Amino acid sequence: MKIWDPLHECMPREDLEQLQLERLQFTLNRVYKNVMHYRKKFNELGIIPEDFQSLADLKKLPFTTKEDLGIDYPYGFFAVPLREVVRIHSSSGISTKPIVVGYTRNDVRMWSNLVARIMTAAGVTRDDLVQIAFRYGLFTGAFGLHYGAETIGASVIPTSTGNTERQIMIMQDYKTTVLVCTPSYALILADRIKELGIDPKSLSLKTGLFGGEPWSEAMRSTIESGLCPTATDNYGLSEVIGPGVAGECLCKDGMHIFEDAFIPEIIDPATGEALPPGSTGELVLTSLTKEAFPMIRYRTRDITSLDYGSCKCGRTMVRMKKTQGRTDDMIIVKGVNVYPSQVDEILFSIQQEHAPYQMTLTRKGALDILEIRIEVTSKIFSLVMKSQRAFVEQVKKRVKSVIGIDIDVSLVEPGSLRRQEGNIVKVVDQRQE
Ligand SMILES: [Zn+2]
């Protein structure tokens, strides 16, 4: 397995931490001098960049949120004059105005190299033909992957999005070996290929990088059997750089975060407290090399956990789990953070199907009560009464062991759960009502 930048990707942790500290000091100086928002925050706290002598000091700084980035639209967070900016992208913001991000020439070079790392990790080489079916535009996905593939020396086919049959024709005729798109679009392509009676094995595809949205292991196996023999995940967000923050190697056991460029932290989204290694919580990222748009302790709102254990591929960079949802969906029950995605996963692991369910929260005295109501699907209905009871018990037990709380579970009539525009309302919180 080839590694694009072994010097950095396989760096011993001690050396890595030294490099991180040097780069953090550089970044803090840059934002203190050039970004009003950060200078104000530093001044409020009575600290200057020189006070930062260890990586642990990072925790002294406040978080940066999406709300903050809306301040001084459009260029308030730029740390260089516009004449040094060679590229502008944007991402959706809190208000109607987007968040505008910029890159210097060095930033584009660094970004391209980070994406070259995730592509190499996914098995891409200069001999590959890379079809990029991300929408080209202000969104960072297409250009990020495009520049990364060119950096490797692969041949880029920038098909952009849409026109599924044309995508398939190009895939067949140009002999595309690498596919880049969202996982949900990969499923659409797999379906269409099936409908057209094309054998996926007749395509030249060998690997794919699917990102831009969270996806499950179940989706991975569908994509691998119906379209592309190897499907890898990668992670990034425009506010931090775009794609290239993290990517899976061929072990497919978590995405390596490039820690020479970003410091990851996991916090409790409710309290902001740092969580011990291995815990599931909100990912916070600090950029270390960016010139135009440095980012200090950015709250990504993505839920994941970090694994500092060694990986068979030889990279020393920490691995983040597939994202497990957004903090916006989180509920707190008996002081424990619960995400609908955890319940999804538990139900799927027991039943091998996505059973429709709803979480109802009530309060008895000071006690929170969480009830999961599951609509009886044909699969559950086919179980005899005794097995239905066993199923309910199994859900309770699994929730207790995975999430750590006692819950009630009940089976309800198909179609009886409250729906909004056809979708079941996942969480009904009656504690305030
Ligand atoms: Zn690895």
What is the β-pairing status of strands 155-157 and 207-210? unpaired
At residue 337, φ and ψ (nearest 5 deg) are: -80, 130
Strands (E), 9-127: 85-91, 99-104
Prediction pTM value: 0.85
Task: Give the Å distance between the CA of 252 and the centre of ligand 1.
Answer: 7
**pLDDT at residue 144, as a whole number:** 98
Distance 53 CA to ligand 1 centre (A): 31
Q: What is the 294 CA–ligand 1 centroid distance (Å)?
A: 27
Q: How far is the CA of 4 from the centre of ligand 1 (A)?
A: 13
In whole angstroms, what is the distance from residue 176 CA to residue 161 CA? 16
**Residue 262 CA, ligand 1 centroid: distance in Å:** 17
Q: How far, in Å, from the CA of 190 to the mean position of ligand 1?
A: 27
Cite the DSSP H helix spans in 255-410.
340-351, 378-381, 385-402
Separation of CA 308 and ligand 1 centre (Å): 11
Give residue 25 CA to ligand 1 midpoint distance, Å.
Answer: 28
Report how far ligand 1's centroid is from the alpha carbon of 409 (Å): 39
| Residue 175 CA to ligand 1 centre (angstroms) | 28
Low-confidence residues in the chain, pLDDT < 50:
none
How far does residue 117's CA lie from ligand 1's centre (Å)? 12
Ligand 1 centre and the CA of 278: distance in Å? 17
Contacts of 57 (CB under 8 A, 6+ apart): 51
212-227: string of b/e by CB count within 10 Å (b at 16+)? bebbbeebbebbbeeb
- 311 Cα: distance to centroid of ligand 1 (angstroms): 5
Span from the CA of 317 to the centroid of ligand 1 (angstroms): 8
Of 237, 247, 267, 274, nearest to 101 (Cα)? 237
| Cα(316) to centroid(ligand 1), Å | 8
Give residue 394 CA to ligand 1 midpoint distance, Å.
34
pLDDT score, position 350: 84
How far, in Å, is the centroid of ligand 1 from the Cα of 17? 19
Q: How many angstroms separate the alpha carbon of residue 249 from the centre of ligand 1? A: 5
Distance from the first to the final alpha carbon of the chain: 56
Of residues 168, 177, 241, 240, the one with CA closest to residue 206? 177
pLDDT of 423 reads 79
Centre of ligand 1 from the C-alpha of residue 330, in Å: 30
Strand order in the sheet with 408-412: 408-412, 367-375, 357-364, 427-429
Tell me, in angstroms, the distance from the centre of ligand 1 to residue 230's CA: 15
**Angle (deg, nearest 10), helices 164-173 and 183-195:** 80
Cβ count near 208 (within 10 Å):
29
- Residue 357 — φ and ψ, nearest 5°? -145, 165
What token pair was written down for 310?
Answer: 């060694």
Question: What is the Å distance from ligand 1's center to 340 Cα?
Answer: 29
Give the integer Cα–Cα distance in Å for 132 and 141: 9
Measured in angstroms, how far is the CA atom of residue 381 from the centroid of ligand 1?
42
Cα(349) to centroid(ligand 1), Å: 25
Which residues partner with 237 through β-bridges?
Answer: 242
CA of 313 to the centre of ligand 1 (A): 4
Residue 80 alpha carbon to ligand 1 centre in Å: 35
Spatial contact of 371 and 407, defined as CB atoms under 8 Å apart:
yes
